[in-house]
Chain A
Amino acid sequence: MIEFLNSIQNSLIYKNFFLVLSGLDNTILLLLISLPLGFVLALLFALGRVSKITLLSRTIASYIFVIRGTPLLVQIYLIYFGLGSVKFIRESFLWYALKEPFWCGVIALTINTVAYGAEIFRGGIQSIEKSQVESGLSLGFGKFLLLRKIILPIAIRKVLPSYGNELILMVKATSLVSLTTYMEMTGIARKIMAKTFAPVEAFIAAGILYLFLNFLMVQFVKYLEWKYNPHLRLNN
């Protein structure tokens, strides 16, 4: 038994696991900034998309079209390598953020999730029955109150499953930031592989951690669905 435990402790996966674990905080840091920011911006963009101001709606529609039509990797490279090569950006205050791979990653992830999120929220907002808005209006609700009390709660509740999907895609997308020399879990796994020449052990350790992170995300979304759908609970 002790021999078995020792063999586990000496195994490469076990050692790699803790090395990769040291990159978990960097992955989570990326998510902690880009997800809340992306959520708020996505809501605002969705409202702009369904608004009656044609110019605003068209602009947001083309933004969504461009971001959803190009790979995230192109967006990350454009911000990290592309913007960094422009002289007046290097001399402006923006350079304090753009010289760090971390902030480039945060900006790229936020831009990406806003486009997908806005499209999801638009679907939710447009699927609200007209009668509910009308009953709100007949009660004398103003525009803002209508939004806060009727439209947003119903829309967000409806899109929770698909927004949960987007959240999981974002957890996976953080791995691409490793290509801009940012040392999160995939970056560390890559470094371990280069050192030990044992690719399978390094990447399985990282894979287990990503699965765990996504498992937590799924549980979080399930909890939100449970919390915001009290009428669908079987027994209170």
Chain B
Amino acid sequence: MFKFDKLVFGDAGWGDEFLIATLMTLIVSILSMGLGLFLAIITVWAKIIQNRITRFIANFYTTVIRGVPELLVIYLIFFGGNAVVMSIAKVFGYNKYIELNALTIATIAIAVISATYSSEVLRASYLAISKGQIEAARALGMNKFSIFFKVISPQVIRHALPGIGNVWQITLKDTSLISVTGLVEIMRQSRISSNVEHSPLTFLITAAILYLCLTTISGRVFKTLEVNYSKGFST
């Protein structure tokens, strides 16, 4: 029932395929985490400026995406994404068939999900900054741009890092759902290999171990970052 000898590198085994698949998982996670953080910053901005319409849109977005299964969001973007892009292209007078590649769709889908979690983390850590700091910066004559980069963001990063670490773990695990779109990451690779070798247990355990390594190592990295960024904190 176990065929762990099939995991060697080269043509005889699946080792190199799994290595590439692991890299693909990492690429999708990093890209979607980055895009997700960008979307999250916009969402937080929409929530904290005193504007009812933007706040409603942002709240609607986070509530709906967090209340709907991730798989459904991925299906919706995977099957519905092309139609949306084509109808947008039509507005600009481009009538040919467009097909987004799997990596783009995967990144967008996971980013849309991960942004809702990141936005909650970022919002909470923005609210943790005392108002006096921003007022003090204004009193020194700093403009909005430098207030954001020199006063707000360093502190938001420090407060948000533990939460962002959690979101990263969730995002990493959510990329396994992307296998339904056919992108060859760890999960997809283990299904392909087990279908060929008729030994699902071997390759699913391999996938589990790979995910475990990824989450553990990245957990360590975030711990180090946390220590590094909280140097200024008097504990």
Q: Enumerate chain A interface residues (CB-CB to B < 8 A).
A: 66, 68-75, 77-78, 81-87, 168, 171-176, 178-179, 186, 189-190, 193, 199-200, 203-204, 206-207, 210-211, 214-215
Whether B187 contacts A85 by the Cβ 8 Å rule is no
A199 CA / B70 CA spacing, docked (Å): 15
Q: Judging by beta carbons under 8 Å apart, are B68 and A207 in contact?
A: yes
Residue of chain B at shortest CB distance from A27: B69
**Given known A73-B176, A82-B205, A176-B177, contact A200–B69 (CB-CB < 8 A):** no
Residue B14 at the A interface, CB < 8 A?
no
Interface check B136, CB cutoff 8 A: no
CA distance A171 to B69 in the complex (A): 8
In the complex, which residues of chain A have a beta carbon less than 8 angstroms from the beta carbon of B198? 85
Cross-chain pairs A/B with CB under 8 angstroms, 6 sampled: A71-B174, A82-B200, A189-B75, A200-B79, A200-B80, A210-B69
Is the pair B76, A199 in contact by a Cβ cutoff of 8 Å? yes
B1 part of interface (Cβ distance < 8 Å): yes
Q: Are B69 and A69 in contact (CB under 8 A)?
A: no
- In the assembled complex, how far is the CB of residue B190 from the closest CB belonging to chain A, in whole angstroms? 8
Q: Nearest-CB distance from B22 to chain A (Å)?
A: 14
Q: How far is the CA of A81 from the CA of B191 in the complex (A)?
A: 10
| Inter-chain contacts of A71 with B (CB < 8 A) | 173-174, 176-177, 187, 211
- Measured in the bound complex, the distance between the Cα atoms of B205 and A74 in whole Å is 8
B221 at the interface (CB under 8 A from A): no
Instruction: Return chain A residues, CB-CB under 8 Å to B173.
Output: 70-72
In this assembly, does B83 line the interface, its C-beta being within 8 Å of a C-beta of chain A?
A: yes
For chain B, residues 202 to 228, give those with C-beta under 8 angstroms from any C-beta of chain A. 204-205, 207-208, 211-212, 215-216
Q: Are B201 and A70 in contact (CB under 8 A)?
A: no
Q: How far is the CB of B116 from chain A (nearest CB, A)?
A: 12
Q: Count the A-B residue pairs with Cβ separation under 8 angstroms: how many?
A: 112
Q: Is the CB of A175 within 8 A of B71?
A: yes
- Please give me the residue from chain A that is nearest to B216 by CB atom: A69
Task: Tell me the complex Cα distance, A226–B103, Å.
Answer: 46
A203: which B residues are within 8 A, CB to CB? Answer: 72, 75-76, 79-80
How distant is B122 from chain A, measured CB to nearest CB, in Å? 18
A74 partner, pick from B64, B67, B207, B216, beta carbons under 8 A: B207
**A161–B158 alpha-carbon span in the complex (Å):** 25
Contact pick for A85, options B75, B179, B191, B201, CB 8 Å: B201
How many interface residues does B have (CB within 8 Å)?
Answer: 35
Asked whether any CB of chain A lies closer than 8 Å to the CB of B199, the reply is yes
Q: Which residues of B contact A (CB under 8 A)?
A: 1, 64, 67-72, 75-76, 79-80, 83, 173-174, 176-177, 179-180, 187, 190-191, 194, 198-201, 204-205, 207-208, 211-212, 215-216
CB distance B79 to A193 under 8 Å? yes
C-alpha spacing A70/B1, complex, angstroms: 22
Q: How far is the CB of A37 from chain B (nearest CB, A)?
A: 21
A87 to B176, CA, bound (A): 27
Residue of B nearest to A78 (CB): B204
Closest partner residue, chain B, to A211 (CB atom):
B67
A73 CA / B215 CA spacing, docked (Å): 15
Complex Cα distance, B80 from A16, in Å, reads 16
Q: How far is the CB of B81 from chain A (nearest CB, A)?
A: 9
**Which chain B residue has the least Cβ–Cβ distance from A208?**
B68
Q: Is the CB of B212 within 8 A of A70?
A: yes
Which of A68, A74, A172 meets B69, CB within 8 Å? A172
Query: Nearest chain-B residue to A79 (Cβ)?
Result: B204
B69 engages A77 (CB within 8 Å): no
Collect the chain A residues with CB atoms within 8 Å of residue B176's CB. 71, 73-74
Contact in complex: A211, B211 (CB < 8 Å): no
Is A211 within 8 A of B68, CB to CB? yes
Check A66 against B68 for contact (C-beta < 8 Å).
Answer: no
Among B80, B199, B205, the residue within 8 A (CB) of A78 is B205
Min Cβ gap B89→A in Å is 17
**B212 touches which of A69, A77, A83 (Cβ 8 Å):** A69
Name B211's contact: one of A74, A172, A206 (CB within 8 Å): A74
